[in-house]
Amino acid sequence: MEDFGRRLRELRTGSGLSQEAVAKHLGVSAQSVSKWENGRAIPDVTFLVPLARLFSVSTDELLGNETQGQKWDDEWHRAILAGDPGQAAKTALEALEFFPGQPHFLWRLAEAEYMASRFKEGEERRRFLLNAEMHLQAILRQFPDFEEAVRRRAIVLKELGRHQEAEALVRRLPDPDEALLQVLQDKDAWKKQRRRVLAKRAQAFWDMLHNLDLDLAEKFLVEYPWDERDRIDRLSAICVLRAEKLCIAGKPEEALETLQELWELSRRMKEAKAHPERAEALFPRLGDDSGPFPDTMIFGFHVLHTPVFKPLEGREEFQALLRLANRQLRTNGNEEKEAK
């Protein structure tokens, strides 16, 4: 107990907090915090996670059990990677015997049980789902605003056939739009919700692009399951904007190297157009903000003639890109005439 009290005191003083401030955060008396630090008492297990969060450390660090906790965490990950959620669940249960009620390992246990349910059928599958739901409830009793646990519990409830509960749970989230797609049962409501989500995704991407937050915009494209043609158009926009920034910064060689990506994007666009069954228009037009991004061309080709690329005009590689751009533009023009 003295070791725990010493660690608690060091964390508190290192954070610049008084015993009164810690007590107020936990809803206890300052005398209780003093007893913990002096080794005359230890906090109830329900206070461990709030304390760890307050000082931005893990509960293992707070308890001095970091090595053992990390060992179980590593074993859990190995079991999951090996496709053995049953073993992962056993590992989490073993950890919970050492750390009773610890939310981190409750979460590990619920995740393993949910994954195991996907390999089972009938009553056995239902048993795993019910166990996962029970452990997710235990987490949410401690942390009702743990959004990932809310979303996971909603999915489990849906798979248990408790659709109304699942939807009601998701609607508690600050931004329930994405999660609703996973639980809505009515087809018309689901389609309407999907249109709303896709419009929000598109707007988020354009906001990133307009703010020139190119790395974040590219990460956004990679992480979401966009239609391939939409993804290519937006990747080309990012590519050209990066090249523009490099030209303005006096780095024409790096700008040209960046623009070379347009060759690969052009090839991918041609392939995507050849397989329209893979594609569905995921980006609805957003008025004037969306810009002209037809599926038949690469966005980047529209802006290669702008003055910012003047330092590259004498380079054969750049002239080759311009020729490719002109071919794309002519192709698009012909397709538009045929459509009329």
> Residue 46: in which H helix or E strand, if any?
none
Spell out the CATH class of 66-180.
Answer: mainly alpha
Measured distance CA(8)–CA(235) in Å, rounded: 49
> What average pLDDT score do residues 14-30 get?
85
Question: Helix or strand or coil: residue 120?
Answer: coil
Residues with Cβ within 8 Å of residue 224, at least 6 apart in sequence: 201
Return the pLDDT at 274: 61
pTM of the model: 0.54
Q: What is the mean pLDDT of the chain?
A: 79
Measured distance CA(110)–CA(133) in Å, rounded: 7
Distances (CA, A) of 128 to 71, 83, 89: 25, 16, 10
Q: Are 230 and 283 in contact (CB under 8 A)?
A: yes
Measured distance CA(220)–CA(211) in Å, rounded: 14
Query: Residue ranges per domain, the chain?
Result: 2-63, 66-180, 196-339
Q: What pLDDT, in 10s, does the model give residues 226-281?
A: 667 777 777 877 888 888 888 888 898 898 888 888 777 777 777 766 654 443 33
Q: Which CATH code is given to the segment(s) 2-63?
A: 1.10.260.40
Return the pLDDT at 275: 53
Q: Above 70 in pLDDT, residue 101? A: yes
Return the pLDDT at 287: 28
Measured distance CA(82)–CA(37) in Å, rounded: 43
Return the pLDDT at 108: 92
Residues with Cβ within 8 Å of residue 66, at least 6 apart in sequence: 58, 60
> What average pLDDT score do residues 50-66 get?
73
Q: Which two tokens stand for residue 30?
A: 């300052």
Residue 52's pLDDT band (boundaries 50, 70, 90)? confident
Return the pLDDT at 265: 78
Q: What pLDDT, in 10s, does the model give residues 195-206?
A: 888 778 777 777
